[in-house]
Amino acid sequence: MSAGTRLASDSRADEFVARHAIGDPVVGEALVADDNFSARYDLDRLAGIFSRPTHRLAGFSYVDRILVLNTAKGGVASAWMLHEMAARKRAPLAIVFNSVNPILVQGAAFAGMTMLSGFDVDITSVVPQGARVRLDPRARVLRVLGEGGG
Amino acid sequence: MNLRLVRDEERRMRLTPDEKAMLAGELGPIARIALEHQVKVGEFFGARDFVPVTQAHVMADTESLGEAGVAWLESLAGMSEGRAAVCVPTITDPRGTDFAKVGVLKQAAWMVDLEHRAIDAFVKLGVSMTNTCINYQTVQAPTRGEHVAFGDTGVVIYSNSVCGARSNYEGGPSALSAGLTGRTPRYAYHLDECRRATVRIRVDWQPRSLNDWGSLGAVIGKLAGDYWAVPVLEGMENAPGSDALKHFGAAMASFGSVALFHMVGITPEAPRLRDVGGENLPLAHRIGEAEVKALQAAYSSDAEIDVVVFSAPQLSLYELQNLAALCDGRRFTKPLLAVTSPQVKPDADRFGITGRIEAAGGHVLAGMCFYQSYAREIAEANGWKRLATNSAKLANILGGYGYSLRLASMERCVEAAQTGMLR
Which DSSP string corresponds to B236-271? --S---HHHHHHHHHHHHHHH-----EETTTSTT-S
Positions of E strands within A1-150: 15-17, 20-22, 26-32, 43-44, 49-50, 66-71, 94-99, 114-117, 132-136, 141-146
State how far residue B153 is from chain A, nearest Cα, in angstroms. Answer: 6
Positions of E strands within B59-156: 90-92, 149-150
ipTM of the prediction: 0.93
State how far residue B363 is from chain A, nearest Cα, in angstroms. Answer: 25
A35 at interface of B, judged by CB pairs closer than 8 A? no
The residue from B169, B189, B209 where one domain ends is B189
B263 and B357 fall within a common domain: no
β-sheet bridge partners, residue B48: none
Give me the pLDDT at residue A55, please: 95
CATH number at residue B390: 3.30.499.10
Contact assignment for A78 to B66 by CB distance below 8 Å: no
Mutation test of the interface with chain B: which of A80, A110, A114, A136, choosing the one with the most B Cβ atoms within 10 A? A80
Which chain B residue lies closest to A59 (C-alpha atoms)?
A: B400
The residue from B138, B166, B189 where one domain ends is B189
Cβ-contact B370, B390 below 8 angstroms? no
A41 at interface of B, judged by CB pairs closer than 8 A? yes
B44 at interface of A, judged by CB pairs closer than 8 A? yes
Which chain A residue lies closest to B394 (C-alpha atoms)?
A: A41
Q: What is the mean pLDDT of the segment spanning A14-20?
A: 96
Contact assignment for A84 to B152 by CB distance below 8 Å: no
B42 and B145 fall within a common domain: yes
B15 and B158 fall within a common domain: yes
B156 and B249 fall within a common domain: no
B310 and B288 fall within a common domain: no
Q: Does residue A5 carry a pLDDT above 60? A: no
A5 at interface of B, judged by CB pairs closer than 8 A? no
For B242, residues 6+ apart whose C-beta sits below 8 A from its C-beta are B137, B162, B316
Which phi and psi (to 5°) does residue A43 adopt?
-115, 145
Cβ-contact B337, B362 below 8 angstroms? yes
Contact assignment for A101 to B60 by CB distance below 8 Å: no
- C-alpha to C-alpha distances, B356 to B105, B191, B348, nearest whole angstrom: 20, 47, 10
State how far residue B41 is from chain A, nearest Cα, in angstroms. Answer: 6
Q: Does residue A149 carry a pLDDT above 90? A: no
B110 CB burial (10 A radius; 0-12, 13-18, 19+): exposed
Give me the pLDDT at residue B260, please: 98
Q: How far apart are CA B16 and CA A64, in angstroms?
A: 39
Q: Does residue A71 carry a pLDDT above 70? A: yes
Cα torsion angle, A18, A24, A29, A33, sign: negative
B376 at interface of A, judged by CB pairs closer than 8 A? yes
Helices and strands (H and E) in chain A: how many: 4, 10
Structural domain span for residue B233 = 196-296
Which chain A residue lies closest to B249 (C-alpha atoms)?
A: A74
- Range of weakest confidence among A39-48, A95-104, B185-194: A39-48
- How many CB atoms are located within 10 Å of the residue B94 CB? 32
Describe the strand order of the beta sheet including B262-263 as a list of residue ranges: B262-263, B231-234, B199-203, B283-287
Q: For residue A84, list chain B residues with Cβ-Cβ distance below 8 A.
A: 64-69
Give me the pLDDT at residue B155, please: 98
For B158, residues 6+ apart whose C-beta sits below 8 A from its C-beta are B136, B245, B246, B249, B250
B60 and B122 fall within a common domain: yes
Give me the pLDDT at residue B225, please: 85
Q: Does residue A10 carry a pLDDT above 50? A: no
Cβ-contact A40, B400 below 8 angstroms? yes
Give the three-state DSSP class for B62: helix
B291 and B312 fall within a common domain: no
B19 and B149 fall within a common domain: yes
For chain B, percent helix, then strand, then coil, each to nearest 5?
50, 15, 35
Q: What is the mean pLDDT of the segment spanning A54-79?
A: 93
The residue from B140, B160, B189 where one domain ends is B189
For B382, residues 6+ apart whose C-beta sits below 8 A from its C-beta are B105, B106, B306, B307, B335
B366 at interface of A, judged by CB pairs closer than 8 A? no
Give me the pLDDT at residue B278, please: 97
A53 CB burial (10 A radius; 0-12, 13-18, 19+): exposed
Q: In angstroms, how far is CA B406 from the centroid of its own chain?
A: 21
B79 CB burial (10 A radius; 0-12, 13-18, 19+): middle
Q: How far apart are CA B162 and CA B149, in angstroms?
A: 16
B408 and B358 fall within a common domain: yes
Give me the pLDDT at residue B8, please: 65
A114 at interface of B, judged by CB pairs closer than 8 A? no
B212 and B244 fall within a common domain: yes
- Range of weakest confidence among A92-96, A145-149, B287-291, B305-309: A145-149
State how far residue A98 is from chain B, nearest Cα, in angstroms. Answer: 10
Give me the pLDDT at residue B172, please: 97
Parts of chain B with a pLDDT under 50:
1-3, 5-6
| Residue type present at position B93 | D
Q: Does residue A150 carry a pLDDT above 90? A: no
B341 and B389 fall within a common domain: yes
Q: For residue B298, list chain A residues with Cβ-Cβ distance below 8 A.
A: none
Name the pLDDT band for A40 (thresholds 50, 70, 90): confident
Give me the pLDDT at residue B9, please: 67
Whether the ω angle into residue B313 lies within 30 degrees of 0, i.e. cis, is yes
B284 and B343 fall within a common domain: no
For the question of whether the overall pTM of this predicted structure is more than 0.90, the answer is: yes
Give me the pLDDT at residue A7, please: 41
Cβ-contact B417, B398 below 8 angstroms? no
Contact assignment for B170 to A139 by CB distance below 8 Å: no
Tally of structural domains, chain B: 3
A51 at interface of B, judged by CB pairs closer than 8 A? yes
